[in-house]
Each structure stands twice: as C-alpha cells, then as structure tokens.
Amino acid sequence: MIRSAILGASGYVGGELLRLLARHPGIEAARLFGDSKAGQRLGVVHPHIGGPTGAIEVERFSLEALDGIDLVFAALPHGESQKWAEAILATGAKLVDLGADFRLHDQQDYATWYGEAHAAPHLLDRFVYGIPELHRDAICSAQAVAAAGCYPTATILALKPLIDAGLVESNSLIVDAASGVSGAGRAVKEGTAFNTVDGSFAAYGLLNHRHTAEMEQALGATVLFTPHLAPMTRGILATCYATAAREMTADEPLEALRAAYADEPFVRVSDAPPATKWVTGSNGAVVSARYDARTKRVLALGAIDNLGKGAAGQMIQCANLMFGLDEAAGLSAEGVFP
C-alpha cells in the first residue's frame, strides 16, 4: 500500500479523502494532519467516519511526521502550501495540492488575483495542473500536481474541447455557475448558515472571483465569471456562453465533446442538460453543449460534485496516475442518486 498523509484532514475535503481512501485498494491514509483540530478524534471531527479510523487523533503537522510517507494530499487554505511545498518535495514524496498556490504558472497572475507576492515562485514549474483529462501524460510523470479548483474543473471540461476545435471565440466567454455550500469550506459563518441559505439563491464574488484566473489560463481566453450559492450541500453546474466562431449545426459542439471524451472513464457527454445530482458523491462529470443559430452563441454545461471531481476525487485520480495505479482505483462515476 502507498502510504499517504493528508494535510488539512479536518476540513470537508479531508473528510472526503478519508471516505474514499477507506475503500481504495492501493493507497492508505497513514497520517492525518490538521492544526485547528489537532488532538481530536477523527470520529468526532468527521461524524461519518467510524470504526478504528474514527478513533485516530488528528495530528499537528511536522515535517518529521512525513517519514515513510509516499504521497501527500494537501487541502489547505491558499497561501499555506507554498510554505511547505519545497520541504515536502525534498522528502521525495509526491504531492497533490488542492490549494491555489501552484495552479497559476505566472507568479504575476498569482499576485494579481490573490493580492500578495508568491512565496515560492521557483517551484511553480514543478507543478502540473491537475485535470487528468487535459494533462494525463504530464501528471503520470510529475512529482507535484496542483489539482484544479472546483469551478474551473466544471468549466474547463465543458469548454476546452470547443476552444480546441475552433468553435468559439476565446475573447467572449461568460461563465455563470452555481455551487453547493460545501464549496465555501467548513469555516462557520452566517453566509453559510442553514437559515441563510435554505430556500435561497444568490450570486457572490461578482467580477473578481479568483477562479477566473485559472479558467483564463487553462482556456487561453478572457472570462467573466459569476459564481452563485445554491441551497444544496454538494454540486457545481457551470453554464458557459461563448460567441460562435462560425455557423454550425446545433449539435456540432456536442460532437466535439463526444470526440474529446470518448475514452474517458469519468466524463460523460449528455444530450440532455445535466443535473448536479447525477454525480453527487462521485468523481464523475457530465458535460453538454449546443449551438444557438438565433443568437450565434454556443452554450456549454458542465456538472460535477465540488468535493468529488472538484476536489478529493480528482486528487485521487491524479495520485493514481502518478503512482501508475488504475486511474479509477477507489473512485466511482455513479452519483448517489436520488
């Protein structure tokens, strides 16, 4: 078994990694770090984790504790992994980082969108951007992967094949997306209280959500992105609009998606517009697209579970590739439905 450590084990992504690794045939969760809840038992921190694992205590992180660890999953607030990445990589362990720190190749982009200078710019080119459907070969041979953000994953999976096929203009993208509340993390605040969100739908982060930069980098395009909070725990749907590069049949964008994802185990191309619940709790993604002759626009849709393909699932998918395991080991594409 590959011995992994989880940094940020007490957050939602940490809990999802634990759930998935509990049934993973090749990777075990050997060390569990989480500073704010250090000393608490996992079964208290994550009430879905019982049995012997539930009795393990969350540890305070230290580099020494990585001794014998083959793989580090980091699910930390942005800014944290740039402090530790160099030391972690120096141990020889592979690293799958879900933070934003190493997703943007250009340190200036990081400074612009995150409002502070990058602390470890010399490491940026050691990280591969972690969407296996786009960068599988690079991930296979990487020591370090920066797993993509949740909104970008849904968006990029829906749009990238259309851009590659020359169907849409790259200066015209609008991404309007809705997320479940778990996307806002586990910190307790009024904006994510049950009473605030239940029965309500709202936009937030207008014009300047940081995931915009990631989308623009991956798509080579300008993006206006509006995230929304939907009254559900999990799931992201990205509804994407682009000016068509030329006239085409209504289904030509769908065919481009089918061609791109024909052999992908986790991406389904759907005629019908996908619902997020189709992939809840799984590593699956569903995309769809069509051309509107009336307005000369292409509409593309991408649905994922933000904690699955948008976080823990994709991290494991990347790790499977990095260690030469079956890419689908420990993962499923079928959502918990209904």
* Whether 150 contacts 279, CB under 8 Å: no
User: β-pairing, 297-304 with 236-243?
Assistant: antiparallel
Instruction: Spot the catalytic one: 140, 150, 240, 318.
Output: 150
Q: Which residue, 127 or 291, has its beta carbon nearer to a second copy? A: 291
In angstroms, what is the minimal distance from the CB of 124 to a second copy?
23
Question: Smaller CB distance to a second copy: residue 149 or 274?
Answer: 274
Tell me whether residue 116 or residue 198 sits nearer to a second copy (CB atom).
Answer: 198
Which of 220, 236, 108, 109 has its CA nearest to residue 172?
220
Q: Which is nearer to a second copy, 121 or 265 (CB)?
A: 265
Compute and round to an integer the Cα radius of gyration of the chain.
19
For 61-77, the DSSP string reads P-GGGGTT--EEEE---
Closer to a second copy at the Cβ: 137 or 295?
295
Least separation, in Å, of the C-beta of 66 and a second copy?
25
Report the candidate in 322, 262, 335 with the shortest Cα–Cα distance to residue 132.
Answer: 322
For the chain, the straight-line distance linking the first and the last C-alpha, in angstroms and rounded, comes to 34
The Cβ of residue 61 has, within 10 Å, a number of other Cβ atoms equal to 22
Query: Of 64 and 207, which CB lies nearer to a second copy in the complex structure?
Result: 207
* Secondary structure element (H or E) that encloses residue 84, with its range: helix 81-90
Q: Are 149 and 214 in contact (CB under 8 A)?
A: yes
In this structure, which amino acid lies at residue 257?
L
Q: Which of 310, 323, 312, 113 is nearest to 223 (CA)?
A: 113
Residue 35 C-beta: closest distance to a second copy, Å: 17
Nearest C-alpha neighbor of 304 from the set 238, 256, 240: 238
- Cα–Cα distance for residue pair 10/107, rounded to 1 Å: 29
Smallest gap, in angstroms, from Cβ of residue 38 to a second copy?
A: 17
| 150 labelled catalytic | yes
The nearest distance, CB 134 to a second copy, in angstroms, is 20
DSSP, res 276: G
Tell me whether residue 42 is exposed, middle or buried, using C-beta atoms within 10 angstroms of its C-beta: 0 to 12, 13 to 18, 19 or more.
buried
**CB of residue 201 vs a second copy: minimum separation in angstroms?**
5
Tell me which residues are annotated as active site.
Answer: 150
